[in-house]
Amino acid sequence: MDEAVVDLKDVKVFRGTRMVLDVPRLVVRRGEALAVVGPNGAGKSTLLQVMACLLRPGAGEVVVCGEKVERRTNLLRLRRRMAMVLQRPYLLDGTVFDNVAVGLRMRGVPREEIRTRVERALAAFNIEHLAARRARALSGGESQRVSLARAIVLEPEVLFLDEPTSSLDVPTRIALLAELAEVVRETRVTTVFVTHDVMEIPFLAERTAVMAGGRIVACGPVRDVLSDDMRRALSALAGSARWILSQDGDAVAGLPVASSSR
């Protein structure tokens, strides 16, 4: 059995007295790409923060990269084994090359190796021609490509993506998802991808976890979770997740979805 890179057991997160996350068990194995999908407020980002060691749960056990996360855990050392890309790109006021190279420089990587790895990461997202451009002169799509290249260049053991394409227009989103999917396939980096757009799932994921009300209401292979029967069942079970299925089963959140016959 493949090694577990992220393993959550009986994890609960509270906001005051209200429980906002309740995950009895979730395992992400090495080389796997998992999509976490659900409506706004479902608990997707909270789950991602727990997995990325950015939020300590009120109860339960979190194991990341084989290490149990406890109060005495060196979180900085553990976080250096992962990378995260957010919905909004946060870039330094420098060149594209410098933005992608910053993590490697902080780790003391030799200069020539930095150049080689940065050039490779830029090429992966088709932005090598922007290496000398200042970050403030970039478009939204270009900025997010830089953020992704900055994460991938670190060669993380696990990559966390929190709706990285949600603010982009449709053509840019599709192009970027295709590039990202190719990188994930080539590197086999363990990936956890959060989205509220089911249309994005087939680009990246092999397995999908559907969330509603802070709970995972379904988890399995993409083809199974997106099947018509499963979507109908989820709509009935997860009242707050009615966005999953339109009345005729042909649209999700107002957008077309991949046919279950694929």
Tokens standing for residue 75: 């979180």
**Are the C-beta atoms of residues 123 and 116 closer than 8 Å to each other?**
no
Q: Is the pLDDT of residue 160 over 80?
A: yes
Residue 18 lies in a domain: yes
CA 91 to chain centre: 19
Residue 15 lies in a domain: yes
Percent of the chain predicted with pLDDT > 70:
86
Residue 136 lies in a domain: no
- List the CATH number of the domain containing 200: 3.40.50.300
Q: E-strand spans in the chain?
A: 4-15, 18-29, 33-37, 59-64, 67-68, 82-85, 158-162, 190-195, 207-212, 215-221, 251-252, 255-256
* DSSP secondary structure code for residue 69 in this structure: -
225-256 residue pLDDT tens: 777 555 655 554 454 444 444 333 333 333 33
Residue 185 lies in a domain: no
CA 123 to chain centre: 21
Residue 216 lies in a domain: yes
Q: Is the pLDDT of residue 260 over 50?
A: no
Contacts of 174 (CB under 8 A, 6+ apart): none
Residues in the chain: 262
144-159 residue pLDDT tens: 999 999 999 999 999 9
Residue 229 lies in a domain: yes
Q: Which of 38-42, 103-107, 150-154, 177-181 has the lowest mean pLDDT?
A: 38-42
Percent of the chain predicted with pLDDT > 90:
62
Tokens standing for residue 104: 């490697």
What mean pLDDT comes out for the span 97-123? 97
Q: What is the pLDDT of residue 128?
A: 96
Q: What is the pLDDT of residue 244?
A: 43
Residue 104 lies in a domain: no
Structural domain that includes position 258: 1-81+194-262
CA 238 to chain centre: 23
* Number of domains making up the chain: 1
Residue 181 lies in a domain: no
